[in-house]
Amino acid sequence: MIRYRVRETVEFAALTELVRAAWGGQEDGSSWPGILARSLTWVCAYEGPTLIGFVNVAWDGGRHAFLLDTTVHPDHQRRGIGVRLVEEAAASARAGGAHWLHVDFEPHLAGFYARCGFGPTAAGLLRLG
CA 15 vs. chain centroid, Å, equals 11
Beta sheet of 41-47, edge-to-edge order: 2-6, 41-47, 50-59, 64-72, 100-103
Dump pLDDT digits (tens) for 89-111.
999 999 999 999 999 999 999 99
User: Binning pLDDT at 50, 70 and 90, where does residue 26 land?
Assistant: confident
For residues 63-86, give the mean pLDDT: 96
CA 126 vs. chain centroid, Å, equals 22
Question: What's residue 2's pLDDT?
Answer: 97
CA 120 vs. chain centroid, Å, equals 19
- Ordered by where they begin, the domains of the chain are 2-115 (3.40.630.30)
Query: What number of CA atoms fall less than 13 Å from residue 49's CA on the CB side?
Result: 1
